Structure 1
Amino acid sequence: MTALVLDGVAFGESPRWHDGRLWFADWLAHEIVAVSPSAEREVVFRADFPTMPMCFDFLDGQPVIVSSSDGLLLRLSESGLTTHADLGGTGFNEIVATRAGGCYVNGGGFDLMAGEPYRPGAILFVNPAGEVRRVAEDIAFGNGMALTPDGSTLIVAESYANRLTAFSVLPDGGLTDRRVWADLGEGVPDGIALDASGAVWVSDVPHRSCTRVREGGEVLEKLTFDRGCFACALSDDTLYVVVQEWRGLDGVGEAAERTGQILAHPVSVGRA
């Protein structure tokens, strides 16, 4: 049974399970929020830069935050924000950190919120020293990303290509052996979460769903909602989904109705 954990979210995205709590970015509130399974809410970070979009992950236990508008990768510590890397552009959409201290950051190649025309994007690799290089091109609106536990495979949601794409990870962080991991048909993948069996939960805004698929595209389970599903994250026994009404770009603004929710659904297979 799917349960409500939190409502009144302005525009939730980028959920992460960390240290026993679900963390997520609330773009319109300019915040990163941590919420416990019992719905205790804490604002962990409040941004002073534009946050449409803002994504984050955890690197060596510390949050690393992509300021897309500035093209910077920032590290958050008790002493405040420091710049970890200059990404050399704008329009970045999602990040995943590696166990070896690196990060992958993808971008759509264009500013959707500004109404720019579509251009294919790329994936960048940021090494532990903060050095940046492009490791994949022609990404059709890169969205959610996940690394397999052994770090050998990166899975990327290509929203505009209706598929999950996989790459083999080289020792230096480079990517090779590009392949279709799952053709989703009419599915429009947004955020994703990898489980311990190797299956992937895929969020889908227009279809108001979150679907569990295995490599090759077989559907194992599907959840549907009364509003768009933007992203998801797994704990050891729960799938958390971020849902909200999507009324197009014209419906996004500081005065927009807070239709966002965090929902929890019990699962038999937890996070990878």
Structure 2
Amino acid sequence: MMDGIRTLLDGRGLVESPRWHGGRLYFSDWTAGEVLALDPADGRVEVVARVASLPLCTDRHPDQGLLIVSSAEGLLLRREPDGSLATYADLGRPGWNDIVVDDRGNTYLNRAGFDPMAGEAFAPGSVSLVTPDGSVREVADDIAFPNGMAVTPDGSTLIVADSYRHALLAFDIGPDGALSGRRVWADLGEGTPDGICCDAADAVWYADVPGRCCVRVAEGGAVLDRVDLDRGGFACVLGGQDRRTLFVVAAVWRGMTESALVEPGSGRVLAVRVEVPGAGRP
């Protein structure tokens, strides 16, 4: 367990998808339909995009372009230098959730097989790949509820959080971006992983909404560190100049069937220093 959690920003809605780039923390406020950039040094916040979508997740392509998942439209958007949004890929259908891009420009996106907010019956979800030429294909299926994703530091493995099965799954990344060698990377017991990130010691941090915490685990599931929160942890990323700051986005969760998924104004961006720096993507 760690101490010294700092609140960098308060008063937001359902905050998600933290990404570190260029000295700022990028994250999404799903409630407001905004992608924001926060400067931890002075607390200034800039709205960099507005997209009416829930979920609303982002990652950065190796060419420095910000990719934004417009789940409702079934589109993957790219933020242009002038701030406008252009279609990077047509995903063919709505309902997309998290995104991670590897160093070769392969973009992985996942989606649930049902809409829990609409009361649909359960169906397992999947992961799809958008290659640099813009083509889209499914590369993994039968993931009960796919959530956060990360690429290991050596670029060889995609790790996917399966919230409903309380596990982190791993897939080998092939030369063409295809996934194989599916396995359980970590059994989390009662842990419910949402957003995740890797560190330089080949461990994974996962944020947990019902557990109100962030947990660092080794392959196999051994718990190495834990940060307790006073509200649900939706996602985390290691950033800062030395990548030793764990940024956590958190809010008070109400539930999938509530009109407001989180308590209004309860969304926060938190920061805590850790020993092992981040590595891999995001």
The reply to whether residue 61 of structure 1 matches residue 64 of structure 2 is yes
Equivalent residue in structure 1 for 2:23, among 20, 25, 38:
20
Candidates 237, 260, 265, aligned match of 1:253: 260
**1:153-172, aligned counterparts within 5 Å?**
153-172=157-176
Instruction: Give the TM-score of the pair, scaled to structure 2.
Output: 0.93
User: 1:241, 1:263 within 8 Å by CA — same for their partners in 2?
Assistant: yes
Does residue 78 of structure 1 match 2:94?
Answer: no
Helix, strand or coil at the partner of 1:113: helix
- 1:215 aligns to what? 219
Taking the TM superposition and a 5 Å limit, the aligned residue runs for 1:224-235 are 224-235=228-239
Which residue number in structure 1 is paired with residue 272 of structure 2? Answer: 265
Give the TM-score, by structure 1 length.
Answer: 0.96
Secondary structure, in 3 states, of the residue corresponding to 1:25? strand
Larger RCO (CA under 8 A, 6+ residues apart)? 2
* 3-state SS, counterpart of residue 206 of structure 2: strand
Residue 41 of structure 1 aligns with which residue? 45
Determine if contact 2:170/2:182 at 8 Å carries over to the other structure.
yes
- Count matched residues: 270
Partner Cα distance (2:155, 2:79) in 1: 24
Unaligned runs of 5+ in 1: none
The letter of the residue matching 2:44 is E
- The answer to whether the 8 Å contact 2:111/2:126 transfers is yes
Residue from 5, 13, 17 that aligns with 1:10? 13
**In structure 2, C-alpha distance between the alignment counterparts of 1:218 and 1:256, rounded to whole Å:** 32
Letter in 2 for 1:74: L
Quote the residue 1:126 is aligned against. Answer: 130
Q: Give the C-alpha shift of residue 113 in structure 1.
A: 2.4
Native 8 Å contact 2:251 2:262 kept in 1: no
Classify 1:140/1:250 alpha carbon distance in 2 versus 1 (closer, same or farther; 3 Å): closer
Q: Does 2:249 align with 1:242?
A: yes
Alpha-carbon distance in structure 1 between the residues aligned to 2:68 and 2:196: 18
Q: Which residue of 1 aligns with 2:178?
A: 174
Shift of 1:253: 3.1
Q: Distance in 2 between matches of 1:116 and 1:65?
A: 26
**Matched residue type, 2:12:** V
Identity %: 53
In structure 2, give the amino acid aligned to 1:270: P
- Alignment RMSD (CA, Å): 1.4
Q: SS in structure 2 opposite 1:234?
A: strand
Letter in 2 for 1:249: M
Instruction: Compute the displacement of 1:192 (Å).
Output: 0.5
Deviation, 1:252, is 4.3
User: Which position in structure 1 is the counterpart of 2:189?
Assistant: 185
2:104 to 77, 100, 103: 100
Which ranges in structure 2 are unaligned for 5 or more consecutive residues? none
Does the CA contact (< 8 Å) of 1:52 and 1:113 recur in 2? no
**SS state of the match for residue 164, structure 2?**
helix
Letter aligned with residue 107 of structure 2: C
- The answer on whether the counterparts of 1:196 and 1:269 sit within 8 Å (CA) in structure 2 is yes
Give the Cα separation in 2 of the matches to 1:213 and 1:57.
23
AA aligned opposite 1:182: A
Partner secondary structure for residue 117 of structure 2: coil
Equivalent in the alignment of 2:147: 143
Distance 1:113 1:250 in 2: 5
Paired with 2:134 and 2:154, the residues of 1 have a C-alpha distance of 22
Matched AA of 1:17: W
Greater shift, 105-114 or 250-259, is seen at 250-259
Does the Cα contact within 8 Å between 1:194 and 1:271 map onto a contact in 2?
yes
